[in-house]
Amino acid sequence: MANSPQAKKRARQAERRTIVNKARRSRIRTFLRKVEEAIAGGDYAVAETALRDAQPELMRGVTKGVLHKNTVSRKISRLSARVKALKV
């Protein structure tokens, strides 16, 4: 357990940030799930709009420190390739 006042405050802040980050990560996963479902459904238009909605949310996760930049870039790249494959 934290003994100094600074360590106690840091522990409180970490608890709050954990809650916020969990909510943010959950929101991102929801957007990703919508893209995955649209791809599975085979509808290009729906998948494209779902991906377009998910991209800013993923990048916001990077700026907030929830996800790594390269991870998000890889996910967007792979999803966009799968959505593009539906067009044919």
Q: Specify whether the CB–CB gap between 46 and 38 falls below 8 A.
A: yes
Return the pLDDT at 88: 74
Give the right CATH number for 5-87 from 1.25.40.10, 3.40.50.880, 1.10.287.3610, 1.20.58.110. 1.20.58.110
* Whole-angstrom distance, CA of residue 85 vs CA of residue 62: 27
Locate the domains of the chain by residue range: 5-87
**pLDDT digit string, tens, across residues 32-79:** 999 999 999 999 999 999 999 999 999 999 999 999 999 999 999 999
Predicted TM-score of the model (pTM): 0.87
* Whole-angstrom distance, CA of residue 1 vs CA of residue 3: 6
Q: Specify whether the CB–CB gap between 36 and 80 falls below 8 A.
A: no
The pair of structure tokens assigned to 75 is 């996910």
Q: Is 42 left (phi over 0), alpha (psi -120 to 50) or beta?
A: left
**pLDDT band with cut points at 50, 70 and 90 for residue 2:** confident
* Whole-angstrom distance, CA of residue 74 vs CA of residue 72: 5
